[in-house]
Amino acid sequence: MIRNLLRPWLAPLLAHVTLCRGLVITAAVLGLAHLCGLNLLPCPFSTVTGLPCAGCGITRATAALLRGDLPLAIHYHPFSPGFFILGLLLTLSAIAPAPWRSMLVQKIEIIERRTLLPTLFVIAFFVYGILRMTGTIPSPPITNPSPVIEWLKSRQQQPGLQGPNP
């Protein structure tokens, strides 16, 4: 199990040009929709629970990065610069000629084997997400409140409706 976690994963991902193109196109469509005020892919986790997921704030942070506002991007999500770099790598892999893509994949694999940086980034990202969910680390407010939380609040405000007695 641990051995699988230590294997390079980013270089093999970048080697799959079709997958990279699909991810870049999807991100571009979602990003353009966000800039137009449309939320095509609301977070199912935060929608149901009202808690921030590990990725909550990444879209707003990326928009801030594209405007050149690094402090605001880090406020929204401190891992956003790393995901921005990942997006650049995916874009490079999606559009680069095969020899350049091969060279990029080789360089990234060397970095992965020597430093484990991409794996450590993902582990830190999920630890950060868990700490946000538990309230240990403050996070920016979720822009769309959970319908479940709203329903529970409305039930508490209605006279005569009582929850279960402890």
**72, exposed or middle or buried, with CB in 10 Å at 0-12, 13-18, 19+?**
middle
pLDDT tens digits for range 93-102: 999 999 999 9
Number of DSSP helices (H) and strands (E) in the chain, helices first: 10, 0
pLDDT tens digits for range 28-68: 998 888 777 777 777 788 878 878 888 888 888 888 888 88
Q: What single DSSP character describes residue 143? A: S
Domain spans of the chain, in order of start: 10-157
Nearest to 9 by CA among 98, 78, 97, 111: 111
pLDDT tens digits for range 124-133: 999 999 998 8
pLDDT tens digits for range 101-138: 999 999 999 999 999 999 999 999 999 999 988 888 88
